[in-house]
Amino acid sequence: MKSKKEQIFEVSARLFRKRGYVGTSMRDIAKGVGVEAASLYNHIKSKQEILHELLFDVAGRFTTGMDEISDSSLNPLQKLEKLISLHVRLAVEHTDAVSIIIGEWVHLEEAAKNEYTGLRDTYEEKFKAIIQDCISEGHFKQVNPEIALFSILSTLRWLYSWYSRNREISSVELEKQMIECLLVGLKK
Amino acid sequence: MKSKKEQIFEVSARLFRKRGYVGTSMRDIAKGVGVEAASLYNHIKSKQEILHELLFDVAGRFTTGMDEISDSSLNPLQKLEKLISLHVRLAVEHTDAVSIIIGEWVHLEEAAKNEYTGLRDTYEEKFKAIIQDCISEGHFKQVNPEIALFSILSTLRWLYSWYSRNREISSVELEKQMIECLLVGLKK
DNA sequence: AAACAATGCTAACAATTGTTAGTTTTGTAA
DNA sequence: TTACAAAACTAACAATTGTTAGCATTGTTT
């Protein structure tokens, strides 16, 4: 059974995704939970805390996943496949939270925002390093690694959006197709 | 010389991008323009009108561009290249507005929101048709066209964000690299 | 100079915001 | 049953929101 605090986070994630952080009032959240707005404060400290919790929880899952993959003994191409798998899994399991991490981090208060962008930059750096390894070890052509990173990452970031519109595809199939499109290429 | 109305749209685009539509007040916009909030209403009808104008202006540029390319006599692969070129150009020339089209359309009021999603769906359908032509005419492998569409489009949508962080690259070079990554593929 | 419209200003409005204080209800342990 | 803590409620707060009304200033046309 879910605790009230968890309920609040769940409802908030759904509403933040639909109307944004600023566009969602504490009274909206309260209504979703089935309680008066003031009662929320028996469980949480502030509205900002909700955003912070939602965002850093899923950010942590990404960075943990990245570290495991990055530190593994797989070859760089296999690492990329694992990263795609990570993104697919998190997009499927935490659709709303992933949506928020992408669109609503700007509404974190200054200190938390800096912390978040730091995490994100580190994540992107590690991602890029793996792509560069793919190039130097001869798996990839001599493409601009920045642009390859950007191309892959933006697709992975959008996964949550696409997945919520096309639930019928299995995540295994989705993963396979993503590898084909992103890593192998479309051209015959 | 820019009219006051154009100034308002310009400032609004910048602020909407930074803090979102709901997170930007009319007083914020007024300060950016150098005027009192009430004075804005000599030039515009409402805050919603600003969002509507910004959004549908750039949406129109996308649909016009798509129609020209779609109706042309180019082969489907050339059409895709033209589409990439279109997205690069609009991301460079209208960075803020493109950002808004992606993140803030949810704050359109109901009727306009439906109109917008209609435009977007049509756009995506035409995009997908071109990809399907690429497959059936033998330019592309037998990939899932939905996923190929999604992969390409999400990268193109994220262009504005990447471009604002990496201004030094020329848009010609950017375009070339995008074609390589998105259409040809990374694998050696 | 007189007349005019365009555009600015101040002041105010009703509604909504996040949050707090104080009190009552609920559920559990003694 | 009594006692106590958890969690709900009502009421209210100061601030901010988009917008309007009414008036002053500006610049242009007669």
The model's pLDDT over A120-144, given as tens digits with 9 standing for 90+, comes to: 999 999 999 999 999 999 999 999 9
Global confidence as pTM: 0.94
Identify which of B23, B139, B148 has the shortest CB distance to residue A188: B139
- Rounded to 5°, the CA angle A50-A52-A54 comes to 70
Between CA A163 and C1' C14 the distance (Å) reads 42
Tell me how far apart the alpha carbons of residues B130 and A136 are, in angstroms, rounded to a whole number: 34
What does the pLDDT average to over B45-52?
98
B61 Cα to chain A: minimum distance (Å): 22
Does the domain at residues A1-44 carry the CATH identifier 1.10.10.60? yes
User: So where are chain A's domains?
Assistant: 1-44, 46-184
Q: Which of B106, B147, B107 is nearest to B124 (CA)?
A: B147
CB-hemisphere CA count at 13 Å for A90? 26
Contact yes or no for B20 and A151 at CB 8 A: no
Instruction: Check the CA dihedral B101-B107-B112-B114 and report its sign.
Output: positive
Tell me how far apart the alpha carbons of residues A100 and B44 are, in angstroms, rounded to a whole number: 32
Identify which of A22, A134, A185 has the shortest CB distance to residue B184: A185
Strand D closer than 7 Å to the CB of A36? yes
The model's pLDDT over B76-124, given as tens digits with 9 standing for 90+, comes to: 999 999 999 999 999 999 999 999 999 999 999 999 999 999 999 999 9
Tell me how far apart the alpha carbons of residues A58 and B6 are, in angstroms, rounded to a whole number: 40
Strand C closer than 7 Å to the CB of B36? yes
Contacts of A22 in chain B (CB under 8 A): 19-20, 22-23
Strand partners, A187: B140
Domains A1-44 and A46-184 share a fold: no
CATH of A46-184, one of 1.20.1560.10, 1.10.357.10, 3.30.930.10, 3.40.50.2300: 1.10.357.10
The model's pLDDT over A75-93, given as tens digits with 9 standing for 90+, comes to: 999 999 999 999 999 999 9
> Where do the H-state alpha helices sit in chain B?
4-19, 26-33, 47-71, 76-93, 95-103, 110-136, 145-165, 171-179
